[in-house]
Amino acid sequence: MKNFVHLAALLALTVDSVSAHYIFQQLTAGSTKFDVFQYIRKNSNYNSPVTDLASNDLRCNVGASGASTETIEMQAGESFSFTLDTAVYHQGPISIYMSKAPSAAANYDGSGEWFKIKDFGPTFNGGSASWPLQQTYSYTIPKCIENGEYLLRIQSLAIHNPWPAGIPQFYISCAQVKVTGGSGTANPTHALIPGAFKESDPGYTANIYSNFNSYTVPGPAPLTC
C-alpha cells in the first residue's frame, strides 16, 4: 500500500510537469486589445512552463523569436495589459521586466540587461496568503525610461510544487514595444536572464504550505521613477 501511494504521488508530479497550463498571449495598449500574438512573440511549447534556470528560454519562452512579430509604438506612461488563455491558477508571483534592444526589438535575443518594473506578490492576512490569480495583468510603461525599442516581458513563477521535491515553473511571454516620450532619467537595477533567478533564492525555494508568513519575489527590485 505504501508503494502504491508513493507511485501515485510520483505520477501526479509527472503529469503536472508535462501537462499544459497557461500562456500570456494578448497585449492591450491603452484601451485597444490586439489579436493573439500580434505584438507578443509566439512560443513553440504551447502553454507549458520553462523550468531550467540556466536556459535562454527563460527570456521569452521556447522558440519565441521576433522574426514574425510586430512592434507596437507606445508612450512612456501609457497603460498596457497582458491577457492569458486562461486565468493563472498556480500560486506564485507575477513579474514584469523590460530590456532595451540595441536596435530593433524584432532582432533582439534578450541577451542584454533586464530591469524589473512591477511585481504582483502575495497578500498576507491572519496567517494565510492570497495570490493575485487573474487572467489579465495591467501596468504602465515607466515615464522615466529611455526612448527606444524594448522587449516587455511578463512572467508567472509557479511555486505550487515546493522545492526540492518539485521544480518551480516559469510561464513567460515577451511583447515588442517602441517607447517614445520617456525622460531617460531612470537608474534601474539590472540583471541578466538567465542569471536573475537562482536555486538559493528564498522566493524560489519557498514552501507555501508550511510556515508561509512572508515572501520576497526573486529578481531585482522594481524600478521606481
Assign 5 a pLDDT band (cuts: 50, 70, 90): very low
pLDDT computed for residue 162 by the predictor: 87
pLDDT at 11 over 60: no
The pLDDT of 13-41, averaged and rounded, is 83
Q: What is the pLDDT of residues 37-50, one digit of tens each?
A: 999 999 999 999 99
Mean pLDDT of the residues in the chain: 91
Intra-chain end-to-end CA distance of the chain, in Å: 59
Q: What is the mean pLDDT of residues 193-206?
A: 96
The band of 159, judged by pLDDT with boundaries at 50, 70 and 90, is: very high
Supply φ then ψ for residue 101, to 5 degrees: -75, 145
- Using pLDDT thresholds of 50, 70 and 90, give the confidence band for residue 140: very high
Task: Give the residue among 109, 34, 98, 107 at the shortest CA–CA distance from 72.
Answer: 34
Residues forming a β-bridge with 124 = 129
pLDDT the model gives residue 30: 96
Name the 3-class secondary structure at 82. strand
CB 180 within 8 A of CB 73: yes
Residues 15 and 161 sit within 8 Å (Cβ to Cβ): no
Task: Specify the pLDDT at position 92.
Answer: 97
pLDDT tens figures, 47-92: 999 999 999 999 999 999 998 999 999 999 999 999 999 999 999 9
**Range of lowest pLDDT (10-19, 92-101, 109-118, 209-218):** 10-19
Complete domains list, the chain, with CATH? 20-205 (2.70.50.70)
DSSP letter at 54 equals: T
In three-state secondary structure terms, 169 is strand
**pLDDT bracket for residue 20 (50, 70, 90):** low
Q: Does position 7 have pLDDT exceeding 60, yes or no? A: no
- Rounded to two decimals, the pTM is 0.90
